[in-house]
Amino acid sequence: MRRSTIDFFGSGWDLSLLQGTVYIGGYITRDVGAGPEDWELKIPRAEFEMRGPTAEEVMEGTVDAGGSHGMTTGEVICPTVKGIVHVFDFTDESEEVYGALEGDEIDMLGSSYMVVDIDEEDEEVWIAKLGSEGYVWLKTGGEYTVNGYTIKLIDVNLFEQKAVIQLFKVGETTPLAEETIGYRVDPKDPSKNVMFIYKDGEIVVKFGTALVGAEGIVEAKLIIGHDAVKLRENRSFPWDPDYNTNLLFEYDEVEEEWALGEIVFYNNVVFDDTTEVFGPNEAWMLYYEYDEITKERAHYEKGRVVFHVERTETVEKAAGERFDLPFEGQPSAKITVEDVEVAGMTIVIGGEEVQVGQEMEFATRVPIPEDLAILDSDVEANPDYYNYNLILVGGPAVNNEVKKLQDQGKLTTDIAGLRADQGVIEWVEDPWGTEKDALVVAGGGREGTAKAVKKLLEELDAMME
């Protein structure tokens, strides 16, 4: 005899290691008299409601009654959720971000992807996987191999922020294609960053930026995606047929194009008689566990449903080889040794010798001279600073030196036109006529500037290796 007596409902759990928000409604099944060790999860097929614009909003004219799904905005109504509903929201109302545009990078399901194409009319989106590095730096003539193809940088223009690339099959010398990517490529829209898309996203190359490297040679940052797939409204997810996708589109009035507001994954199968359930594309695992059995109680109250979220990577290194932690952006990492022959060894992290196998948390601090960082008002008060190479941090709204360069037309990017979460790194050659250069690190808002600074530090670190 089976009976389902214990219901559980998630209400938008949002975990630091679990990208997106997950809603879960299901229950635990058990045999009469069986202990918690024999109880099992049951997750029904997903059912959830989406909220579009209210009648009042439509009557007031604040939203368009048309659009995708007969609505322009959507929201998961969690109290009625059954099954598993995993939501990735790419909008930010406070910053007027309508969603991810074509060419934008998005994080979901534990990985990074590039939005290759948005077709709101047919309710389809193409996304491509990004490599483990996410991007590569190449000098003219440099090559990068991925997914059976070689990408070669033929030319890069620092001032116009664009590049010419060729695509080859690995081992062949005849190019399959040659394209110009980046800005000022599309004569109808010079500000658009034109991408290279080969065979429906088998290979996707996007221009990131161009900088003068440590050797004085111009290098281009290329963001490379591969193995693009099509996500279709209420169709099965190509990488995990147990889940369907629901797409929500928003019209970006600033960019005057459709944006991907949300991707919702929901299970289309029943997960029955099990103790564990994997999320879409095995991004996480939900499992039932119990702490103990209390025989004196008629009902067991120790059973609960928990998330198991873990990032692991196996690294094989010989003695003396460099070891980089694979937990970018995480303050701590757990390292264990699988090979008993080297158990008990120590490694050096940030100058500190650490015993392998224990959990380590570390940070490296670099002292900054007091006179290294100055204000824009200091530069204006003392023009002698123009006789130095300067790094200008912050957009034109907060940095007068950046505003001057923008007003004088010496920047290729309209920084004021960026979204608050978008940043840019741009090299300006001899802007003051003193044979000294400026490196502008700025964004449309604080978040964008912070991202640009982080990228610059990462790229400088990569160049030093």
| 418 pLDDT above the threshold of 70 | yes
| pLDDT of amino acid 59 | 40
Band of pLDDT at residue 270, cut at 50, 70 and 90: very high
| 148 pLDDT above the threshold of 80 | yes
Pairing of strands 438-443, 390-393: parallel
Mean pLDDT along residues 321-326: 51
| pLDDT of amino acid 365 | 38
Give the predicted TM-score (pTM) of the model: 0.56
Q: Can you read off the two tokens belonging to residue 154?
A: 């033929």
Task: Fill in the amino acid letter for 334.
Answer: K
Within 10 angstroms of residue 438's Cβ, the number of other Cβ atoms is 22
| pLDDT of amino acid 266 | 92
| pLDDT of amino acid 360 | 41
Output the average pLDDT for the chain: 74
Q: Indicate the DSSP class of residue 359.
A: E
| pLDDT of amino acid 420 | 84
Higher pLDDT, 302 or 174: 174
Task: Domain 376-464: give its CATH code.
Answer: 3.30.379.10
- As a whole number of angstroms, the distance between CA 32 and CA 15 comes to 35
| 143 pLDDT above the threshold of 80 | yes
Domain boundaries, the chain: 2-123+233-282, 129-230, 315-365, 376-464
Dihedral of the alpha carbons of 88, 89, 90, 93, in degrees to the nearest 10: -170
Strands of 256-389, DSSP E: 257-267, 271-274, 276-278, 285-289, 304-308, 332-334, 346-349, 352-355, 359-361
Mean pLDDT along residues 94-118: 84
Mean pLDDT along residues 278-298: 64
| 430 pLDDT above the threshold of 50 | yes
- As a whole number of angstroms, the distance between CA 234 and CA 222 comes to 33
Q: Which CATH class is domain 129-230?
A: mainly beta
Band of pLDDT at residue 302, cut at 50, 70 and 90: very low
Query: What are the angstrom distances between the C-alpha of 149 and each of 125, 145, 166, 203, 456?
Result: 24, 6, 10, 8, 28
Most confident of 14-23, 44-53, 103-112: 103-112
| 240 pLDDT above the threshold of 60 | yes
- As a whole number of angstroms, the distance between CA 103 and CA 113 comes to 10
| pLDDT of amino acid 132 | 61
| 50 pLDDT above the threshold of 80 | no
| pLDDT of amino acid 298 | 37
Band of pLDDT at residue 427, cut at 50, 70 and 90: confident
| pLDDT of amino acid 153 | 95
| 250 pLDDT above the threshold of 60 | yes
- As a whole number of angstroms, the distance between CA 460 and CA 391 comes to 13
| pLDDT of amino acid 208 | 87
Q: Which of 205-214, 246-255, 326-335 has the lowest mean pLDDT?
A: 326-335
Mean pLDDT along residues 84-102: 84
Within 10 angstroms of residue 230's Cβ, the number of other Cβ atoms is 17
| 399 pLDDT above the threshold of 50 | yes
Q: Which of 206-210, 299-303, 431-435 has the lowest mean pLDDT?
A: 299-303
Band of pLDDT at residue 300, cut at 50, 70 and 90: very low
Higher pLDDT, 81 or 281: 281
Q: Does residue 400 contact residue 406 with C-beta atoms inside 8 Å?
A: no
Contacts 24+ apart (CB under 8 A), 174-182: 176/149, 178/154, 179/205, 181/205, 181/206, 181/207, 182/157, 182/207
Higher pLDDT, 307 or 339: 307
Q: What is the pLDDT of residues 159-174, one digit of tens each?
A: 889 999 999 999 899 9
| 278 pLDDT above the threshold of 50 | yes
| 133 pLDDT above the threshold of 70 | no
Q: Indicate the DSSP class of residue 183.
A: S
Collapse the DSSP code of 164 into the 3-class scheme (helix H, G, I; strand E, B; otherwise coil) and give the result.
strand
Task: Fill in the amino acid letter for 188.
Answer: K
Q: What is the pLDDT of residues 357-380, one digit of tens each?
A: 444 444 333 344 445 567 888 888
Nearest in space to 108 (alpha carbons), one of 225, 226, 279, 305: 279
Higher pLDDT, 460 or 347: 460
Mean pLDDT along residues 54-73: 37
Band of pLDDT at residue 356, cut at 50, 70 and 90: low
| 218 pLDDT above the threshold of 50 | yes
Within 10 angstroms of residue 260's Cβ, the number of other Cβ atoms is 25
Residue recorded with tokens 């169709």: 235
